[in-house]
Amino acid sequence: MSIKDIRSATLGAQNKFRVETIEYNGVKVGFKQLSYAERSQLMEKCMTDGKVDSLKLQAHAVIQTAVDPDTMDKVFTEDDYETMVNQPADGYLDKFSKAAFKVLGLSDEENSAEKN
């Protein structure tokens, strides 16, 4: 394999962002993978005193990745943050954030460690 082949397979490849779809209360919700740059901006937004704030990460991950699986339009906006974080624990935010973390490449184990 040559350098040209490697560059073609990586830098020259078409960007294909995957979508994880789940069902919640009878509706399908998609979670679209972000670019490295978008994920970095998300993580910076979720820092408090040099540490990842797990609540901010859950909510903002959902806000940034949740899409209508048919149209790829975003479901939530930054204006939804306060409403989201004031919902009952173990509700849609927990379920949605698991799907969001999956497409972001963040494991549940990493997030659990950050919460502790």
Lowest-pLDDT range of 11-15, 38-42, 95-99, 107-111: 107-111
With 0.85 as the threshold, say if the pTM is over it: no
In the beta sheet, which residues pair with residue 19? 32
Q: In Å, what is the CA distance from 102 to each residue of 49, 80, 98, 99?
A: 25, 21, 6, 5
Which domains does the chain carry? Answer: 16-115 (3.30.2220.30)
Residue 12: per-residue pLDDT: 76
pLDDT tens-place string over residues 3-44: 988 988 888 777 889 999 999 999 999 999 999 999 999 999
